[in-house]
Amino acid sequence: MTVATAAYSSLVTDQLYIGGWREGTSGRTAETANPFNNETIATIRQASKEDVDAAYELAEKSQAEWAALAPKQRAKVLNKAADWIEENRGAVVELIRAESGSTAIKANIETGLAIGSLREAATFPTRITGQILPSNTPGKANYVFREALGVVGVISPWNFPFALSMRSVAPALGCGNAVVLKPASDTPLTGGLLLGKIFEAAGLPEGVLGIVVGAGSEIGDHFVEHSVPRLISFTGSTPVGKGVGRAAVGGEHMKKVSLELGGNAPLVILDDADLEQAVGAATLGKFLHQGQICMAVNRIIVQAPLYDQFVEAFTERVKTLSYGDQLDDATVVGPVINDSQLRSVTEKIERARAEGAREVVSGPVEGRVIAPHVFADVTPEMELFREEIFGPVVGIIKAEDEAHALELANDTEFGLSSAVYTRDLTRGLNFARQIEAGMTHVNDITVNDEAHVMFGGEKNSGLGRFNGEWAIEEFTTTHWVGVAPGQAQFPF
């Protein structure tokens, strides 16, 4: 049953996408709703293990024919998918806003990222190359072919559901794989079933993409441990990602994993930074999508000479941010995604107060909307420093000098994104290269993603790389084919 009368109603479905549209066969149903007002968007009968089997089996049967298409034919499908999003952008943006609690700016950014992933992936069919290597056997040639893996299983998150599903689905398809996608339970439409509508309209052959909506407790392990997928691409929290990695690698059917996990991004502001620029970056990098981004600014580290000025200026800027209904175009900070996330963030606020952090910005908690909170004088022993917050709350830490700022930035189990502000670009580059992270930006925010540039983390922030040529490597495998003239003299 669907309940949708808004502009995006044509994008809403209550069925799974497995060789076409069909109802799930689980005994459970999932309701997806606007997190601000709980208005139901759709009620979906969920997938059973049998539905997962059907999606994987159909993908396996369909993959070889898809991979055998001429490169321009696969590219055409991906570009048509991007065209479809551009033509229906208004409805897509509104659905993202309604289902995931996204403000207008975040939903538009997310839609642009998805289009970018498709356009980049459309170039992959003609960018996949192999090698010819010499041999120690006279007359023999060694060919190394780069080929599709086969079937890829994708598990996507709820925070940027549309973009982060597309970031795995598009390149996997571009490389000639078939895909089965399991979106997050909070965002089954924008993270999953919407992609079915898009690729169906783009002419993707039946079965090459399957989409199953289901509870992790019912189908999660089965999805990962299944015999068909050769790679599991997972984006989500570090604890869950570790479990996915163990199941994929240590199970009966070993497979590759790509894991994009949690972060604890430091924004370092050195003593020669442009204060106004640094304040603007900290505000956007922290409060975009209520801070529910793996790359969001999680710790603001300020060198001592600029510390007091920064705290004052940042405090005044944050106090101007509007919060409330994400469907109001003036809103900057909307609701967090669900009640579990609400509890997690409000508990972190209470813990920061109990641990003695100085609260310089606070506000009410109304429903699932948490007003921006800022704490100064945070120390490395405090929870705000050590844990990923994933909400509109941030701590500011004083660094005595540049070396101390670097020490603080690296004092974490995570290493996804990071940033440093300084007027001296050489100083910034040298500092950036010493941060233990997959991505560091000089004089820019921590939240960055470009479809042609590698994306990924170090330490407990994940394994593997997304985007561009790095995605081609992730979603393909190499095959050595040696060709000898057949004139060898064998000793026995």
Query: Which residues are known catalytic residues?
Result: 260
Amino acid at 425: L
Amino acid at 424: D
Residue closest to 50 by CA, chosen among 26, 27, 30: 26
Instruction: Please state, in angstroms and rounded to a whole number, the distance separating the CA atoms of residues 415 and 434.
Output: 12
β-partners of residue 256 are 231
Rounded to 5 degrees, φ, ψ at 46 are -80, 170
Is 46 strand, coil or helix?
coil
Instruction: Please state, in angstroms and rounded to a whole number, the distance separating the CA atoms of residues 447 and 249.
Output: 30
**Dihedral sign from CA coordinates of 170, 171, 173, 174:** positive
CA dihedral 166, 170, 172, 175 (to 10 degrees): -170
CA dihedral 330, 333, 338, 343 (to 10 degrees): -150
Q: Are 345 and 373 in contact (CB under 8 A)?
A: no
Q: Are 209 and 178 in contact (CB under 8 A)?
A: yes
Residue closest to 220 by CA, chosen among 58, 462, 49, 31: 49
Strands (E), 247-337: 256-260, 265-269, 297-303
Number of H helices, E strands in the chain: 15, 24
Angle 18-23-24 from CA coordinates, rounded to 5°: 80
Amino acid at 426: T
Strands (E), 382-487: 393-399, 414-415, 417-421, 439-442, 458-459, 462-463, 476-483
Q: For 374-389, give one letter per residue: b (16+ CB within 10 A) or e.
A: bbbbbeeebbbbebbb
417-421/439-442 β-pairing: parallel
Residue closest to 116 by CA, chosen among 451, 475, 457, 352: 451
Write the DSSP assignment of 459-474 as a string of letters: ETTEES-BSHHHHHHH
Amino acid at 248: A
Instruction: Please state, in angstroms and rounded to a whole number, the distance separating the CA atoms of residues 342 and 330.
Output: 22
Rounded to 5 degrees, φ, ψ at 98 are -70, -45
